[in-house]
Each structure stands twice: as structure tokens, then as C-alpha cells.
Amino acid sequence: MNQSLKSFFTHLECTYCGQKFDKTIVNRLCGICGKVLFAKYDLLSAAQFINPEIIKNRAPNMWRYFEVMPVIDQQYVVSLGEGFTPILNCTDLGEEIGIKDLLIKDEGLNPTASFKARGLSAAVSKAKELGITSITMPSAGNAAGAMSSYAARAGIKSYVFMPKDAPFANKEEAIMTGATVELIDGLISDAGVISREKAQQNNWFDVSTLQEPYRVEGKKTMGYEIAEQMNWEIPDVIIYPTGGGTGIVGIWKAFDEMEQMGWIGPERPRMYAVQAEGCAPIVRAFLNNDEFAEPWVNANTYASGIRVPSAIGDYLILEALRKSNGGALSVSDQEMKNMTKVISELEGIFVCPEGAATAVALEKLVSTHQIKSDDQVLLLNTGSGLKYLEYK
């Protein structure tokens, strides 16, 4: 990125009570109601400045959408080349499942081998711009490796609190890239409590997902890319493995922003969240018609990225699923393991368990006729199977 770019980021706004917050100071959750803050942009002005034709010629990474990203001065962008991952036609897998037009967006090709690179590139860049020097987070795995890698590149000190049974690759990655790693005898929610306490004691900035406003801005670029890479046409269905929900919420936000800029129309994909049978708080809340999700007790699945017993953005995830006429369903660990082998063999994509979960969900949605054979379906493989080698 060498030409000088202008961000149209205007302010932060609470997704629940609508209160506005100053973009130039450090913010986490809404100071009034404690809910999630979203970055807001002057999209009408942005649309005068950029359009799909201009973006087309930019470097193939997520910062090609700089005008609708929260960093104000380009010099603070901390990048390892994240984003613009391929959308692959999966004809053989589609035939196996009964879908004529099946696509997988392979997020395993990101730096640090998962889509977490996007959120952390955005959050670490913004932290750098705000002058933050130490960051912390609880992580079930992939986010830790991404945070410590981007923090290393930014010259920011990082601290990670991770369940001790997180994948080996994630622990190693965080340690190698210089994070101080503490392994916790518990779940990500337990790690979250410790991370928050330590953040307060030591004046570190806690970048827990959706508890700071910028990771979702990185993840929303998946939505921009899906539209751009599909020639500004939107698939009929998107299936996403949902933990904290930042991915699904971000993609949904992107569609809204693109419509306001006139890049797409009012059409939306049906959004489906898939969770593990051993940890499915969003599925339960969706089926109960609840606005919020009760925390899941005794969360258990080898798919560590979706072993998230409670999500602060639960109401945002549920809203996206409902407004899009999509849904939520869970799959078993054994089904994920079997599907990992099927996808790897048929398509040559060594998916992570969470990515495999989306194909299992698709199979179920086809068998219950919620998805038809001529629906165009896009699955998100959120990470590489190479990060989970100990779980055969």
C-alpha cells in the first residue's frame, strides 16, 4: 500500500443501546449497557471515493478495503498478507453431498493458518495506532498464535491465557512469536476471567473477541471478499463454524455496509451457524427463540475454535441467523473427523475440524430439505488441519 489512503471511520456505536463513542480513545464494551461496540463509517462519502473498479487493482490482501477499516493512518497497518484467500469450486464434494454448486473459502491459507489473522491484524494495527504497548487475550488456540504473531510484528508485548488442552501448534506458535503464555486448567471462559483480571492489574489491553471493537472489522473482510470474488453476486447460503461469533457477525456487517455503498443490493445469503454437539449455546438459543444464549455447561469438543460456552455477541449472531432466514445446528466430533477425511480426499483441502463441521451441517440441511440441490452454497474452512495433528 503506497498510495495515500483515507479512512471513513467516524465513531464507535453500541449495537444494543445506540450510544456513540469517540474513535480516538481506547474503548472496549459500551460504557452504558456493557454490550458490543461497532465501528461506524461515513459510507456515503466512502462510496464517492472508492468503488469495486478501484479496489480491483489493489494488492490481494484484506487492507484493500482500507477506506472501510478502522485504522486512520496507513502507517499503523500491521500486515502479514492476510486475506484474499481463494474460493474453491468443490464439485466432487458437492456431488457427494448433493449440491451442484459448492464452494469453500479456504481461510487455512492465511498467515498463522486461520481466519484469526484477519481479526488480529485489524486489532493489533488499531492498538498500535492508539499507542497501546501490551495486549492480552484468552484463546482456545488459533487466535493466540495470530495475536502473538501480529504483536511481534508490531513491537507490542503480548500475553496469552490458553486452556492447557489447546492444540500443540497454537501453543508453540504463541511461544515462538514471543508471547508470554499461561496454560489454564479450564475452558476459554475461565481463561477470559484471568486475562481480564491481569489486564486490569497491569494496564494491558484485553483483545477478547467482540469485547474490543476491532477484531470484527478484520473478520468482516471475509464478507467483502466473498462478494468481490464472486463478482458482486452473493451465494444463496453461507455456513459458518460459530464460537464467539465474530466471523458470522462480521460477514453480516459487511453485507450491510456494501449495500449502503451501493456495491450490492438487498439480497442476502441464508446464514447458518454450526456448533459442536458438546458445546452448542447458540443452537439452543436459536431453537428456543431466545434473544440471548445461556452459557453451555461442561463444554466439550475437540474442535477447540468452537468450544466457546458463552459469547458476548450472542444477540448479534442470533439476529443475523434470523434476519437472513438461516438457522443453527450442531454436529458430533465423530462426524467432523469423518468429514475431514472425506474433504481432504475428494478436494485436497486439509480442513480444520471446524471447517469440516460446515460440510457435515450441509449434509444435514440437505437431508432435511432446508437446502436444495441447486442452491449455491459457500462453506468457510476457517483454518488449516495442520494445526490439529494430535487429534486423529
Ligand X SMILES: Cc1ncc(COP(=O)(O)O)c(C=O)c1O
Binding interface with ligand X (CB under 6 A): 114, 116, 140-143, 209, 241-247, 305-306, 352, 354, 382-383
Q: How far is the CB of 48 from ligand X (least distance, A)?
A: 32
312 binds Zn ion (CB under 5 A): no
32 binds Zn ion (CB under 5 A): yes
Picked from ligand X, Zn ion, none, the partner binding residue 16 (CB below 5 to 8 A depending on kind) is Zn ion
Q: How far is the CB of 194 from ligand X (least distance, A)?
A: 18
Q: 124: Cβ–Cβ under 8 A, 6 or more apart, which residues?
A: 78, 135, 147, 150, 151, 153, 154, 156, 207
Residues 126-165 that bind Zn ion (CB under 5 A): none
16 binds Zn ion (CB under 5 A): yes
Q: How far is the CB of 220 from ligand X (least distance, A)?
A: 11
Nearest C-alpha neighbor of 170 from the set 200, 199, 138, 202: 138
Using the minimum distance from each CB to Zn ion, give the nearer residue, 27 or 180: 27
Picked from Zn ion, ligand X, none, the partner binding residue 246 (CB below 5 to 8 A depending on kind) is ligand X
54 binds Zn ion (CB under 5 A): no
Cα 80 → chain centroid: 17
Q: How far is the CB of 291 from Zn ion (least distance, A)?
A: 15
Using the minimum distance from each CB to Zn ion, give the nearer residue, 35 or 284: 35
Backbone phi, psi, residue 166, to 5°: -65, 155
Picked from ligand X, Zn ion, none, the partner binding residue 85 (CB below 5 to 8 A depending on kind) is none
Using the minimum distance from each CB to ligand X, give the nearer residue, 7 or 112: 112
Q: C-alpha angle 351/357/363, rounded to 5°?
A: 115
14 binds Zn ion (CB under 5 A): yes
* Signed CA dihedral, 214, 216, 219, 225: sign only: negative
Using the minimum distance from each CB to ligand X, give the nearer residue, 116 or 126: 116
Binding residue (CB under 5 A) for Zn ion from 30, 249, 349, 356: 30
Using the minimum distance from each CB to ligand X, give the nearer residue, 5 or 349: 349
Strands 9-14 and 20-21 come out as antiparallel
Q: Which residue is nearest to ligand X (CB)?
A: 305
33 binds Zn ion (CB under 5 A): yes
Measured distance CA(387)–CA(170) in Å, rounded: 7
27 binds Zn ion (CB under 5 A): no
Q: How far is the CB of 274 from ligand X (least distance, A)?
A: 10
Using the minimum distance from each CB to ligand X, give the nearer residue, 237 or 311: 311
Residue type (1 letter), 158: S
Angle between helices 333-347 and 353-367 (to 10 degrees): 100
The cell for 57 is 487493482
Picked from ligand X, Zn ion, none, the partner binding residue 209 (CB below 5 to 8 A depending on kind) is ligand X
Nearest C-alpha neighbor of 317 from the set 269, 295, 276, 285: 285
Measured distance CA(190)–CA(374) in Å, rounded: 44
Q: How far is the CB of 385 from ligand X (least distance, A)?
A: 10
Residue 11, classified by CB atoms within 10 Å of its CB into exposed (0-12), middle (13-18) or buried (19+), is middle
Measured distance CA(162)–CA(114) in Å, rounded: 17
Strands 101-106 and 87-89 come out as antiparallel
Picked from ligand X, Zn ion, none, the partner binding residue 30 (CB below 5 to 8 A depending on kind) is Zn ion
176 binds Zn ion (CB under 5 A): no
The cell for 166 is 489447546
Look at the block and give the residue holding cell 475440524: 353
Q: Which residues bind Zn ion (CB under 5 A)?
A: 14, 16-17, 19, 30, 32-33, 35
